[in-house]
Chains A and B, each alone.
Chain A
Amino acid sequence: MQNRKVLIYNQEKCTGCRSCMMGCSLFHDGECGKVLSRVAVVRNEALGESFVVGCDLCTDAPCASVCPTGACSYDPALGITKINQDRCIGCKECAMACPFGAINMSYKTGKAFKCDLCEGRSEGPVCADWCPSNAITYAQPTVAFKAKRREKLIERLKAVKAEEED
């Protein structure tokens, strides 16, 4: 359980290229378009900022708790909420409830769709696989958090050292 891989978004690394969105829509829907992507990139061009938004794999997921039909529910085996397309009535409650805006409505079916970690793809989710800057990684949380901790610590120590040298 502890070692099941999760998606981790490193906002400071996102270049805003939308490779993830293209991979996502092509893999799942066989079309390319921002409107069919489960992951989204928000760009602020004037300031050169980009942010990547996707399912953060909540355990106590707001999307599942607000779903009136039980279409959206947490799958403990996968560790992610899934939307049962047969039961979804397209009410958009989950899309509004998601704190990250990671749920979208399909223009084809009128129903909600969301990340499924590219279920069945042996290399893991396409978005993480294709991300050129490692802004999205698919990793074991304990390992990823440990690495992050070390990275931040080294950064801080380096800065202190540089200051001392000055």
Chain B
Amino acid sequence: MYGWCGQRLRVDLSKGTIIKEPLSYEYRRKWIGGRGMNSEVIYREVPPNLDPFDPDARVCFGVGPISGTAAPASGRVTVSCKSPLTGGFGDSNMGGHWGAELKYAGYDQIIVQGRAPKPVYIWIDDDNVEIRDARHLWGKFPREADAMIKQELGDEDIHIVVIGPAGENLVRFASTFNDVYRAAGRTGHGAVIGSKNLKAIAVRGSGTVKIARPKEFFDVCNRLRQKFKTDPMRKFLYEIGSLSLINVANHDGWLSVNNFKQGAHPEAWRMSGEEHSKTVLKHREGCFACPICCGRFTEIKEGKYAGEYGGGPEYEHSVPTGPRVGVFDPNAIWHNMILTNNYGMDGIETGGVIATAMEWYEKGLITSKDTGGLELTWGNQEVVEKLITMIAMREGFGDVLADGASRAADRLGLGDEGHKYTIATRGMTLPGDDPRGLGFAYGVGFAIGTRGGCDHLRCLASLELSGFMYPGLNTKILGDERPVKPTTTVGKGYCCFYEENQKAMVDCLNVCCFTTHWSYAVLTADQVDYFNAVTGMDITEEEFMEIGERIVNLERAYWARLLSGKREDTIPERFQKEPMPKSVDGQTNVGYVFPVEKILPGYYKYRDYDPDTGFPSERRLKMLGLEDVAKDLAPLRAKYNSESEKKKKKYYY
């Protein structure tokens, strides 16, 4: 078999059984791999009303047909589950080398279900799979657990997926890590894994990925790699990492400062990639087969935190625990990053909940009585630091915040006023980019994202973000150059539709979207080229994009089954009503608001969603081969628009 391994692993931790299931040609053709196969499993096997921490819940690790090959950045892994944070569909993906190793061991996917009676880890050594005792690993940081497992198994070259203490303590936004620092951050599957008493999955593979047309595949890869050498985006990402965005964001006013109250700050340059590279950068890092290598390794040299080290930073990880909570001291930001990594939780959500709590505190919704004496003032690094640990260990006020911003608002009884400041959609807080300046298509992604609010990599509308670096690209793809301007409503509906389908495919192949549609070295046609060369299929670009559309629709249907649709397709009031204030000289987006309702109808039209429910239409579902999904949704359409349902305000599920 070419590309795929053709089998998946199903591990039932309750029964202690390990089953290898073959994957048929039709199944692979329909769902490709990674996110596609994972979403299919979640949709079929995890009922929408099931508690995410129920032993019956599934957590899936998927890789694609391209994973582990020479195709640029082909080592990603998608982790999917029913999210304990949003209560809806959740997935996230991570780089590193684990995905490739899983392919070499001979599996396209791992499904974990059940709950082990005591902490365990899974050891996959090619065909031999065993469940091993992990009681001694419980409570350990990813770094420690990784080292202990490697020592125990006597091989330093294996790759390990691991959760940290936050996952064990069921923090609703705990993440999964592989290769110690590469995190699948969002939607909180780390807690689901923790609820199954699973600490880690170690993999060693000695196989190879077979290529149907090697000569052709080599030529495609070679062509793409030559293109990367001169790609303008790649240069920034390699030299200064994704923190190269800080100065851009600060100039254009889309940096999240003080929980999105501002879009820029005169001090923000201190944490820019340029400064980072000059001061604390120890090494540049690359995930598997990556031609960009945007990964960083940091070693703090001065001050209170001198001597601490760890992988990162990355823009989205560092902004929420930095400017978003008002912290601008770079060493403090690197420290917060190392801390969240050690505990194994999502830096975005951690910063998001703390920033939200700070705003509640500022507005007088909570007082130091609620917080156990903590003064939650903007930029109070001492408190931020304490809170990170308290959240991870679920101590005191941290226990409240560990349920995520939206749930915390309800636990504290803050009502609608509290939810106003959560800056979240569908229960997940947004990453550190403000749609008022960054881009309107990108902002629509927040409203319609199929994993909830965070959709910075889901509908990464790069045609407007980095389109200006590639003149003529918008015309080539969208047939119009005007959408290249981020803050226009022209053409954004289709832009969103296209980018969302495209990203779904990228996640199915499990390549990195930094290589595919951010730096535009690998266009859709190129992805089809390498997909065909590896698998020996001959699908067209249209068929390729249709698969992406199928996956987006299936995930959307999962939300529809939770009665989440058009009314929930919105973004926080702040972006719609509060004009962007001026914070630095030359800020380009002063006075902007984000007119989300002007773009959504256009998007719905391309998606063919029902105009009154926002559910995928029956016609489109059938066209995409999802007849059974159409049947599932049929009775729910009327229910969604019933009066009682209309009155409900849903912040999470």
Contact = CB atoms under 8 A, between A and B. Distances in A.
B209 to A, nearest CB: 5
B210 interface: yes
Interface string B280-309: 001111111111110101000000000001
B181 A45 contact: yes
A5 B518 CA distance: 36
Interface in A9-68: 13, 15-19, 22-23, 25-27, 29-36, 42-50
Contacts of A43: 97, 157, 179
Interface string B376-420: 000000000000000000000000000000000000000000000
Choose among A13, A45, A107 the residue with the greatest number of B CB atoms under 10 Å from its CB. A45
B475 interface: no
Contact of B179 (A30, A45, A49, A107): A45
Given A26-B214, A36-B208, A133-B293, A17 B288 contact: yes
A31 B211 contact: yes
B467 to A, nearest CB: 24
Contacts of A26: 69-70, 211, 214, 217-218, 221
A32 B208 CA distance: 5
A51 B68 CA distance: 20
Contacts of B625: none
- Chain B interface bracket (under 10, 10 to 19, 20 to 34, 35 or more): 35 or more
B207 interface: yes
Given A34-B104, A107-B206, A133-B293, A15 B286 contact: yes
A130 B291 contact: yes
Contacts of A18: 97, 100, 286, 288-289
Contacts, number: 115
B206 A35 contact: yes
A16 B286 contact: yes
Interface string A89-111: 00000000000000000010000
Contact of A35 (B208, B286, B289, B309): B208
A132 interface: yes
Contacts of A17: 286-291, 293
Given A26-B214, A31-B214, A132-B238, A48 B208 contact: no
B147 interface: yes
Choose among B179, B283, B292 the residue with the greatest number of A CB atoms under 10 Å from its CB. B283
B228 interface: yes
A81 to B, nearest CB: 25
B430 interface: no
A33 B211 contact: no
Nearest to A49: B283
Contacts of B309: 47-48
Contact of A48 (B218, B221, B285, B288): B285
A33 B206 CA distance: 8
A26 B70 CA distance: 7
A79 to B, nearest CB: 24
- Chain A interface bracket (under 10, 10 to 19, 20 to 34, 35 or more): 20 to 34
A106 to B, nearest CB: 11
Contacts of B458: none
Given A32-B209, A33-B104, A48-B283, A23 B293 contact: no
Contacts of A29: 208
Contacts of B208: 25, 29, 31-33, 35-36
B283 A32 contact: no
A32 B284 contact: no
B189 interface: no
Contacts of B217: 26
Interface string A102-142: 00000100000000000000000010011011000000000
A112 to B, nearest CB: 17
Interface string B204-245: 001111110011011001100100100000000010000000
Nearest to B295: A15
A15 B225 contact: no
B143 interface: yes
Contact of B285 (A16, A25, A33, A126): A16
A43 B295 CA distance: 14
Contacts of B179: 43, 45
Given A48-B297, A132-B238, A133-B238, A22 B69 contact: yes
Nearest to A126: B222
A76 B228 CA distance: 35
A22 B288 CA distance: 9
B15 to A, nearest CB: 33
Contacts of B210: 31
A116 to B, nearest CB: 16
B513 interface: no
A30 B70 CA distance: 11
B114 interface: no
A72 B594 CA distance: 68
A25 B214 CA distance: 10
Interface string B152-174: 00001100000000000000000
Contacts of B311: 45, 48
Contacts of A13: 284
B180 interface: yes
Interface string B467-511: 000000000000000000000000000000000000000000000
Contacts of B181: 45, 48
Contacts of A48: 181, 282-283, 285, 297, 309, 311
Contacts of B218: 26-27
A122 B97 CA distance: 30
Interface in B290-336: 290-293, 295, 297, 309, 311
A33 B207 contact: yes
A34 B291 CA distance: 17
A41 to B, nearest CB: 9
B633 to A, nearest CB: 41
A29 B586 CA distance: 56
Contacts of B91: none
B146 interface: yes
A26 B72 CA distance: 13
A134 B286 CA distance: 13
B286 to A, nearest CB: 3
B277 to A, nearest CB: 14
B231 to A, nearest CB: 11
Interface in B51-110: 68-70, 97, 100, 104
A32 B289 CA distance: 11
Nearest to A107: B206
A133 B284 contact: yes
A18 B68 CA distance: 10
Contact of A22 (B214, B285, B289, B297): B289
30 contacts: A13-B284, A15-B283, A15-B295, A17-B291, A17-B293, A18-B286, A25-B208, A26-B69, A26-B70, A26-B211, A26-B218, A27-B218, A29-B208, A31-B210, A31-B211, A32-B69, A33-B207, A33-B208, A36-B208, A43-B179, A45-B146, A48-B283, A48-B311, A49-B283, A107-B206, A130-B222, A130-B225, A130-B291, A132-B228, A132-B286
Closest 9 CB pairs of A and B: A33-B208, A17-B286, A48-B297, A30-B214, A15-B286, A22-B70, A32-B69, A31-B208, A15-B293
Given A42-B157, A43-B157, A132-B238, 9 more contacts: A18-B289, A22-B221, A25-B70, A26-B70, A30-B211, A31-B209, A48-B181, A50-B283, A126-B222
